[in-house]
Amino acid sequence: MVHDLYQETILDHSKRPRNCHPMDDANRKAEGYNPLCGDKLKLFLKVENDVVQDVSFVGSGCAISTASASLMTESLKGKSREEAMKLLDKFHELLTTDTPVSNDLGKLVVFCGVRDYPARVKCATLAWHTLKSALNGTATEPATTE
Amino acid sequence: MSTLSSQVSTILDVEKIRQDFPVLKQTIHDKPLVYLDSAATAQKPFAVIDAIRRFHEVDCANIHRGVHELSQRSTAAYEETRTKAKRFLNSRSKNELIFVRGTTEGINLVASSWGRKNIKEGDEIIISAMEHHSNIVPWQMLCEEKDAKLRVIPMNDRGELILEEYEKLLNPRTRLVAFAHVSNALGTINPARQMIEMAHKAGVLTLVDGAQAAPHMKIDVQALDADFYTISGHKIFGPTGIGILYGKTKLLNAMPPYQGGGDMIRTVTFEKTTYNDLPYKFEAGTPNIAGGIGLGAAFDYMHAIGIDKIAAYEHELLLYGTAALEQIPGLRLIGTAREKAAVLSFVMEGIHPHDIGTVLDRQGIAVRTGHHCAQPVMDWFHVPATTRASLAFYNTAAEIDALAAGLQKVKEVFS
């Protein structure tokens, strides 16, 4: 039923997103945009010695995209660039394949219900697309889910 | 509300009509399908499905080129749709009706052919604040190419165009006014006759995007005095990939071809080609024959039910739906024009339309969520997106009740 998608943690993070504010001393920034639904996201990162020291976001979107951004910021702190990219791959696998849920995902496993809602996968990945663009530092245009 | 619901059902025999639409007889996630997305595409009756099937099974051949029996039959069936379109739109002649892929192509044809020939640097084209992207972007592209200017008629809080502002925009540099007869995102019915008259007084031509009007009301291009009017087959219970562009004969004759190819020519040599007469001048290549034949069946189907009855029934349904949604706390209707077609666009406080759409889908209810290809409309109302329930004559008051109940469930999930 619909509660498999909207698990308690997701509803909680969508109503009270964590790390949801701009960051003045960020040294990496990127914008994300989902042209299909109009969801917008700005991501701020403070990366020192290749490690994510701090991360925050602002934006407007649905419960899934807001909760995904919020939970992503919580799981990124202290991770190296490489670790962050590995997490991104695992997260994508969680949403788009039937493989057993990986133990490395921590709280992010609450998004496992999204795999049964293909139309909502892009909502869950918007923040992660934006992260990739911020970490690669090549973004001249907003990251897009398309 | 049960009184109202029994009133609506007397105008049409909706239960009988629903038997004509096979797609409606299914369950989605174990709930009866409640299809409230007809403004995106309308469902197809057996009459349309059967006509397309019969063409492929019995009459299939290319048109306008064979002497054999099948080609004669398919040509006759395809061209018969043009005659039916003449009745549907009340044009003077069937030769001023061009088959296109849909409204989008109809607009692009006029922008490319009439526009490239007639629009010069410094000219102005007027559109409205509630246009679908398909009636914005072709004009934007043309203006960019020609260094012309795009002007926009503003609207009020109800989602009605402000005609005083429109009047001010008309000036000696204006060449064309292009606007939607009915807004897809808001449901507003624009005063097309009056807007065309105002344009003509200023010596300006008009194009009307009739995609959302054709399913809901009688269209009369002569009474409107529209210069161009375009519709999509799939919005009026026909197949996708087929539509009609109407243009006044004098204008179409003066326009260069849109695309080159077979069927649009009279003679071809390597030195020079002469073009075919109307309407074929604008119809290059083998067209969507099956689609054209299916569209003919759709015209017949609507004609048999009666467009006046359809309009009256949908109006009752709209009033019923408006009353039902207005009772839901935290719900705001977007688009409350006094003249409105059966579209209910809304937002709910603190709940994103995508989440509303997903929860409704799990209850079998199909609505559209997003910007409805009308991002400027969303910007004007300061919302990123809306949820839109769009109605057709096969919808019932009971389905509106299901939507209202579904929205209560949405509120429970996100409370």
Chain A residue whose CA is closest to B352? A62
Rama region for B280: left / alpha / beta (φ>0; ψ in -120 to 50; rest): alpha
User: Which chain A residues have a beta carbon less than 8 Å from that of B362?
Assistant: 1-2
Domain positions in chain A: 2-139
Query: Does the structure show a pLDDT above 50 at B2?
Result: no
CB contact under 8 A, A2 and B362: yes
Strand intervals (E) in B37-114: 97-100
The count of other CB atoms within 10 Å of the CB of residue B71 is 17
Contacts of A2 in chain B (CB under 8 A): 358-359, 362, 413
Structural domain spans, chain B: 2-32+307-414, 49-304
Give me the pLDDT at residue B77, please.
Answer: 97
Name the residue facing A63 among B352, B369, B378 (closest C-beta).
Answer: B352
**ipTM of the prediction:** 0.88
Dihedral angle sign, alpha carbons of residues B234, B240, B245, B246:
negative
Residues on chain B touching A114 (C-beta within 8 angstroms): none
Is the per-residue pLDDT at B84 higher than 90? yes
A58/B contact by beta carbon, under 8 A:
no
A118 touches chain B (CB under 8 A): no
Q: What are phi and psi of B310, to 5 degrees?
A: -60, -50
Return the closest-CA partner of residue B228 out of B202, B212, B205, B197.
B205
The residue among B351, B352, B408 with the most chain A CBs within 10 A of its CB, best to mutate, is: B352
Q: Which residues of B touch A120 (CB under 8 A)?
A: 354, 358
Among the options B47, B373, B383, B404, which is catalytic?
B373
Nearest CA of chain A to the CA of B215: how many Å?
A: 26
Fold of A2-139: Sufe protein. Chain: A (3.90.1010)
* Least confident piece of the model among A93-97, B14-18, B190-194, B224-228: A93-97
CA distance A120 to chain B (A): 8
Catalytic residue flag (residue B60): no
User: pLDDT band at B39, cuts 50/70/90?
Assistant: very high
Q: How far is B30 from chain A (nearest CA, A)?
A: 11
| Spatial CA neighbour of B284 closest among B261, B265, B266 | B261
Q: Closest by alpha carbon to B12, among B319, B410, B307, B234?
A: B307
* Structure-block tokens of residue B129: 């604040």
Q: Which residue's entry shows tokens 């994300």?
A: A32
Q: Return the number of CB contacts < 8 Å for A and B.
A: 49
Contact B289, B78 (CB under 8 A): yes
Q: What percent of chain B has pLDDT over 70?
A: 98
Q: Does A3 touch chain B (CB under 8 A)?
A: yes
Model pLDDT, residue A37 = 73
CATH of domain B49-304: 3.40.640.10
Task: Give the tens place of pLDDT for each residue, B121-136.
Answer: 999 999 999 999 999 9
* Closest-CA residue of chain B to A61: B352
Question: Chain B residues with CB-CB distance to A under 8 A?
Answer: 350-355, 358-359, 362, 369-371, 375, 378, 384-385, 413-414
Task: Determine the topology of domain B2-32+307-414 in CATH.
Answer: Aspartate Aminotransferase, domain 1 (3.90.1150)
**What does A42-90 look like in DSSP terms, one character per residue?**
EEEEEEETTEEEEEEEEEE--HHHHHHHHHHHHHHTT-BHHHHHHHHHH
Which mean pLDDT values do the consecutive 10-residue runs of chain A (146 residues) have? 89 96 95 85 95 95 95 96 94 90 86 92 95 79 68
Considering CB atoms only, which of B354, B362, B413 is closest to A123? B354
* Angstrom distance (rounded) from CA B11 to CA B313: 6
How is residue B82 written in tokens?
Answer: 């043009």
Pairing of strands B343-348, B365-366: unpaired
- Neighboring chain B residues of A61 at a CB cutoff of 8 Å: 352, 384
Selecting from B355, B362, B378 the residue whose C-beta is nearest the C-beta of A1 gives B362
Closest chain A residue to the Cα of B376, Cα to Cα:
A38
At residue A91's C-alpha, the angle toward residues A90 and A95, to 5°, is 115
Residue B383 distance to chain A (closest CA, Å): 10
User: To which H or E segment does residue B128 belong?
Assistant: strand B124-128
Contact A39/B at CB under 8 A = yes
Residues B91, B83: Cα–Cα separation, whole Å: 10
Smallest Cα distance from B38 to chain A, Å:
19
pLDDT digits (tens, 9 = 90+) for B285-336: 999 999 999 999 999 999 999 999 999 999 999 999 999 999 999 999 999 9
Please give, rounded to a whole number of angstroms, the shortest distance from the CA of B261 to a CA of chain A.
Answer: 34
Of B350, B351, B385, the CB nearest to A37: B385
Work out the pLDDT band at B1, boundaries 50, 70, 90.
very low
pLDDT at site A81 = 93
Q: What is the mean pLDDT of residues B138-158?
A: 98
**Is residue A117 less than 8 Å (CB to CB) from chain B?**
yes
Q: Provide the pLDDT for residue B6.
A: 54
The DSSP output letter for B332 is E
Is some CB atom of chain B closer than 8 A to the CB atom of A63? yes
B299, B84 contact by CB (below 8 A): yes
Q: What is the pTM of this model?
A: 0.93
Of B28, B349, B354, B412, which to mutate for an interface test with A (greatest number of A Cβ within 10 Å)? Answer: B354
